[in-house]
């Protein structure tokens, strides 16, 4: 696929649908999916991804901020949109007007939001050991107070597993403890005659490693987009996930550089022999990690590998195409994805840069056109 843009991400909606159904297949039949589309759907395009998922039956979504939620609602996304993060009580009117669902991050926060007098839908967050957001599972009275507001409408209760990505004995024991603490809270809520609403705790690895948890919702993020945070992670459920995103750019110039002539900022690459250099029209302002060139980074051109050379610039970088015949201006460059028999994964780039795939795909910038294919 070619576009007129300098750089583009191809988003395969058929793969997205496939991943959704693979994850649903792993879950108990009564459990529905709450699709996590925060951070522009992990770089895949939040509006388009959410609207497509809406069309194929998803009615629960999760985002990080009220701005993300309002953007989805303004573009016609239907169903529940849960804001996972903090929203100032001063935004109560927006929460109400756009029919958004806010996380109660603590009992004090719940009271402050309730005082605004708006009938806002909320989910109560329980901290079972992540120590990030939520009322501690130990604070039973405070938790119960969240279920007796005057104006708020509680329709969910949830927590977050902090080490469900690991199958190490100690991490499994910690996850088991989190589940036990969460279940104890849910049981206490119900024993008081209160309704916890939709109960949920699993994100991607919670689904893949603990698929038998029988709650109402599960919140896939990175797995929905066909990825694991680390490609080498072992998981219990062998879901056949398919990467949704490919990242491509264009060769903007091809130059012959004599031996001993430096290439790029800082003269980090000085060839010992004559080389042919291609400039690629994407850079760190578009989400390419600046340290990728220093850690074995390469791209695919005409189905062959071309090593990055010198420093990655804000808007472009250079690669060595000396061994690739007939590279010319306008050729497609694959940064993530397949070209011929060669493939570069987001996981490989993450490993080279010492991070996780979540960061690699979610940092892809707004200057990169999203092209949706099915």
pLDDT value of residue 5: 78
Burial of 139 (0-12, 13-18, 19+ CB in 10 A): middle
Residues of the chain with CATH 3.20.20.10: 12-225
pLDDT value of residue 4: 63
pTM of the predicted model as reported, rounded to 2 decimal places: 0.95
The CATH classification number of 12-225 equals 3.20.20.10
Phi, psi of 197 (to 5 degrees): 70, -150
- Select which of 17, 38, 205, 290 is catalytic: 38
CA contacts within 13 A on the Cβ side of 370: 21
> CA-to-CA distance for 113 and 92, rounded, in angstroms?
7
Per-residue pLDDT of the chain (374 residues; tens, 9 = 90+): 555 679 999 999 999 999 999 999 999 999 999 999 999 999 999 999 999 999 999 999 999 999 999 999 999 999 999 999 999 999 999 999 999 999 999 999 999 999 999 999 999 999 999 999 999 999 999 999 999 999 999 999 999 999 999 999 999 999 999 999 999 999 999 999 999 999 999 999 999 999 999 999 999 999 999 999 999 999 999 899 999 999 999 999 999 999 999 999 999 999 999 999 999 999 999 999 999 999 999 999 999 999 999 999 999 999 999 999 999 999 999 999 999 999 999 999 999 999 999 999 999 999 999 999 98
Q: How many CB atoms lie within 10 A of CB 323?
A: 12
- Superfamily in which the 245-355 domain is placed by CATH: Lyase, Ornithine Decarboxylase; Chain A, domain 1 (2.40.37.10)
Instruction: List for the chain the helix, strand, coil content (%; round to 5).
Output: 30, 25, 45
pLDDT value of residue 109: 98
298 has catalytic annotation? no
pLDDT value of residue 2: 57
> CA-to-CA distance for 222 and 228, rounded, in angstroms?
6
Q: In the structure, how many helices (H) and strands (E) does the chain have?
A: 11, 18
Task: Give the DSSP letter string of 323-340.
Answer: TSTT--TT-EEEEEEEET
Centroid of chain to Cα 87: 20
As given in the structure block, the two tokens for residue 176 are 């088991």
As given in the structure block, the two tokens for residue 370 are 């999203």
Task: Give the DSSP letter string of 355-370.
Answer: S-HHHHHHT--TTSEE
225 has catalytic annotation? no
Name, in order, each residue with C-beta under 8 angstroms of 355's C-beta and a sequence gap of 6 or more: 289
Calculate the alpha carbon distances from 225 to 2, 57, 243 in Å: 22, 17, 6
91 is in an annotated binding site: no
CB 125 within 8 A of CB 133: yes
Residues of the chain with CATH 2.40.37.10: 245-355
CB 335 within 8 A of CB 284: no
- Select which of 42, 51, 125, 265 is catalytic: 265
Centroid of chain to Cα 320: 32
* Of the candidates 344, 351, 337, the residue with the CA atom closest to the CA atom of residue 230: 351
Q: Which residues pair with residue 298 across a beta bridge?
A: 307
As given in the structure block, the two tokens for residue 70 are 């309002």
132 is in an annotated binding site: yes
Secondary structure of 236-295 as H, E, C letters: CCCCCCCCCEEEEEEEEEEEEECCCCCECHHHCECCCCCEEEEEECCCHHHCCCCCCHHH
132-138: Cβ within 8 A, 24+ apart: 132/160, 133/84, 133/85, 133/86, 133/103, 133/105, 133/106, 134/105, 134/106, 134/159, 134/160, 135/104, 135/105, 135/106, 135/107, 137/181, 137/182, 137/184, 137/185
């Amino acid at each position: 696929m070619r576009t007129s843009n300098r750089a583009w991400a191809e988003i395969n909606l058929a793969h997205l649908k496939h991943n959704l159904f693979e994850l649903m297949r792993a879950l108990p039949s009564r459990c529905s999916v709450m699709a996590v589309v925060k951070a522009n759907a992990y770089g895949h395009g939040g509006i388009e991804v959410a609207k497509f998922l809406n069309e194929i039956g998803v009615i629960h979504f999760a985002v990080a901020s009220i701005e993300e939620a309002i953007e989805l609602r303004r573009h016609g996304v239907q169903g529940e949109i849960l804001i996972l993060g903090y929203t100032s009580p001063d935004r109560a009117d927006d929460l109400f007007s756009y029919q958004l669902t806010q996380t109660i991050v603590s009992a004090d926060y719940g009271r402050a939001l309730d005082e605004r007098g708006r009938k806002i839908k909320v989910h109560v967050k329980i901290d079972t050991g992540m120590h990030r957001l939520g009322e501690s599972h130990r604070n039973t009275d405070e938790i119960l107070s969240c279920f007796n507001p005057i104006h708020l409408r509680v329709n969910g209760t949830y927590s977050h597993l902090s080490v469900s990505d690991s199958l190490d004995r100690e991490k499994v024991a910690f996850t088991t403890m989190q589940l036990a603490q969460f279940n104890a809270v849910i049981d206490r809520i119900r024993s008081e005659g209160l309704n916890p609403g939709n109960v949920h705790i699993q994100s991607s690895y919670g689904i893949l490693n603990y698929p038998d948890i029988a709650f109402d919702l599960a919140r896939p993020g990175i797995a929905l987009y066909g990825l694991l945070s680390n490609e080498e992670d072992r998981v219990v459920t062998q879901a056949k996930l398919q990467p949704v995103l490919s990242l491509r750019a264009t060769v903007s110039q091809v130059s012959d550089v004599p031996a001993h002539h430096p290439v790029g900022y800082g003269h980090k690459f000085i060839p010992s022999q004559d080389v042919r250099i291609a400039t690629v029209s994407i850079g760190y302002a578009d989400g390419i990690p600046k340290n990728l060139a220093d850690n074995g980074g390469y791209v695919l051109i005409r189905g062959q590998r071309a090593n990055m050379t010198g420093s990655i610039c804000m808007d472009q970088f250079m690669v060595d195409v000396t061994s690739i015949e007939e590279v010319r201006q306008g050729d497609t460059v694959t940064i993530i994805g397949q070209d011929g028999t060669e493939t570069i994964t987001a996981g490989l780039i993450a490993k080279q840069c010492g991070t996780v795939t979540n960061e690699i795909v979610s940092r892809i910038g707004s200057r990169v056109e999203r092209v949706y294919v099915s």
